[in-house]
Structure 1
Amino acid sequence: MTFPQLSVELGIGVAFVGVLGLLIGSFLNVVVYRLPNGMSVVSPPSACPGCDSEIKAFDNVPVLSWIALGGKCRDCREPISSRYPLVEAGVGVFFALVAFWLWQTLPQMPLATNEVVAGILALVAFLWLAGVSVALALIDLDTHKLPNAIVLPSYVVGGVLLAVAGVLSGDTEALVRAGVGMAVMWLAYFLMAMLYPGGMGFGDVKLAGVLGLYLGFIGWGALAVGAFAAFLFGGIYAIALVLLKKAGRKSGIPFGPWMLAGAWTGIFAGNTLWTSYLALLGAA
């Protein structure tokens, strides 16, 4: 497969998606704070937690407003956590990386109309996963929970978008892999939750199916690497906590962030890593 050359169009497209990510990141800050507390994510409008004054539109520009205000509320001067601009900027960069990665997977231009539409649908699907990944990782770190309100709709959004993209591009094998990946990862995590109820929650089980769907769509190598990397990252994190005496051997740690980190490792580099591994074994 050949890849398109870097171009002005690519730069503009990636920049546009990055700016979209900044805006989505601002909304995700609201989701991460409100959803675990049983609050609506759409109303009332955002307000300062210190003085409860509504945040004005010109003070709600991602990253820039926080810098302009010196990280403090305009009205009461209560400090505003640096987590807000960091999430906004992080999601912006994340979205841009996803757009650039997907561009690199496209065949040489020009593309047929159905391939263009398939590419757009795939981009939306993976941007959805990127946004969901940030929200779930932060919520799990804060509360040790993976809300159904985020995880379950991802089956529908990811499944529909990837299915249509696969049909339009003629890649029916990707659809089979996606279905197998979803089922295998859900079942594997379900069995672990049954065998080790204290170490694996059902939130992890439900998230595993979503990640298996996306990883399988990318390839068998992505599925294998993404599934393995979650336990590698989680294990390293747990060992580090024990060595630093911030946790014991029986301490529970949020596993969702490491599942997500492993999945994105599989998405971005899984097929390449898997091929290299097989070549090392002489099986490729």
Structure 2
Amino acid sequence: MTAFVVIVSAAFGLAIGSFLNVVIWRVPRGESVVSPPSHCPRCDHPIRQRDNIPVLSWLLLRGRCRDCSNPISPRYPLVELATAVLFAVVALRFGADWQLPAYLYLAAITVALTMIDIDVRRLPDAIVLPSYAVALVLLLLPAVLDNRWDDLLRAVLGGAALFAGYFLLIFIKPGAMGFGDVKLAGVLGIYLGWLSWGVLLLGAFAGFLLGGVYGIVLMLAGRAGRKSKIPYGPFMLAGAMVAVLVGERLVEAYRGMIGI
């Protein structure tokens, strides 16, 4: 059963990844993700349905527009593949469980927000703010069906706690990060808090750790200084996903080491 869920989730991830390419390009520009249909930015010709198959179409077209031969960035199939892989890993983690849709949504916004923050150094409210409602609605499903009301309460408190923690950080040290990071922290706190307080702490720590290591590597390579700003959203998202996927095992291992 788990293998079937993983395969279906991966296939679904390919399709979602294709849509995320549209989201990544249009949302930062304030454009609709529904209309107009996808088209070549050079010749403006609409993309045919047969040329809109994730990954495969790019390979068959050899990375070029069918009508004007304009190169198509390999980033498009890579986003589709990354989404499929992330969906498969999340499905492997949760299996056929009512939690799965909520964490597949987290995987989708992880890909979209990571790419957008890298591109434009911004985490759009159009994605982040609705994610509060989406997360709570999707987690309400297992809360109702599996009687996990305590977990849902902890998710709400976790979201509030992580939001408050990040808000305190920018209050103490203005300019250290953007308010978009604070708003994203609340969303991630909901997902991490649902799993456990330990997972929430691990996810927050992992984000800081990954961002710090990246900053140190850039400084050692001479590509950044102490005051250089880097997009922090991708590291928050990566840390959260690490905690979601393996956090419970790491927390249990840590407790075993210290004898709790």
User: TM-score category by the smaller chain?
Assistant: over 0.9
Aligned pairs for 1:197-236 (under 5 A) are: 197-236=174-213
4+ runs deviating over 3 angstroms: none
Once the two structures are superposed, the pairs formed by residues 171-182 of structure 1 within 5 Å of their partners are 171-182=148-159
> What's the CA shift for 1:99?
1.0
The DSSP-based 3-state class of the residue aligned with 1:75 is coil
- Equivalent residue in structure 1 for 2:134, among 157, 170, 175: 157
Structure 2 counterpart of 1:43, one-letter code: S
Name the % identity. Answer: 53
The answer for the alignment partner of 1:26 in structure 2 is 18
Q: Which amino acid letter does the alignment assign opposite residue 126 of structure 2?
A: A
Equivalent residue for 1:167, pick from 133, 144, 154: 144
Q: Which runs of 5+ in 1 are unaligned?
A: 1-8, 107-118
CA contact (8 A) 1:221 1:272 kept: no
Mapping of residues 90-105 of structure 1, within 5 Å:
90-103=82-95
Cα distance in 2 for residues equivalent to 1:278 and 1:143: 40
Q: Give, in whole Å, the separation in 2 of the partners of 1:73 and 1:194.
A: 48
Q: TM-score, normalised by structure 2?
A: 0.97
Q: Which residue of 1 aligns with 2:73?
A: 81
Instruction: Choose which of 169, 177, 182 in structure 2 pairs with 1:192.
Output: 169
Q: Which one of the candidate residues 45, 49, 56 is aligned to 2:48? A: 56
- Write the distance in 2 (CA, Å) between the matches of 1:38 and 1:125: 26
Residue identity opposite 2:189 in structure 1? G
Distance 1:164 1:14 in 2: 20
Shift of 1:277: 1.6
Q: Aligned-pair distance for 1:180?
A: 1.9
Q: For residues 7-44 of structure 1, give each alpha carbon's deviation from its aligned partner in whole angstroms, at most 9, with x where no partner exists.
A: xx322221111111100000000000011111111111
The superposition leaves residues 219-274 of structure 1 with CA deviations (integer Å, 9 ceiling, x where unpaired) of 12211110100000000011111111111110111000000001011111112111
Distance, in Å, in 2 between the alignment partners of 1:11 and 1:262 is: 26
RMSD across aligned positions (CA) = 1.2
| Maintained 8 Å contact 1:224/1:270 | no
TM-score, normalised relative to structure 1: 0.89
**2 CA distance for matches of 1:78 and 1:248?**
38
Q: Does 1:261 align with 2:238?
A: yes
**Paired residue secondary structure (1:36):** helix
Structure 2, gaps ≥5 residues long: none
* 2:118 is equivalent to residue 141 of structure 1: yes
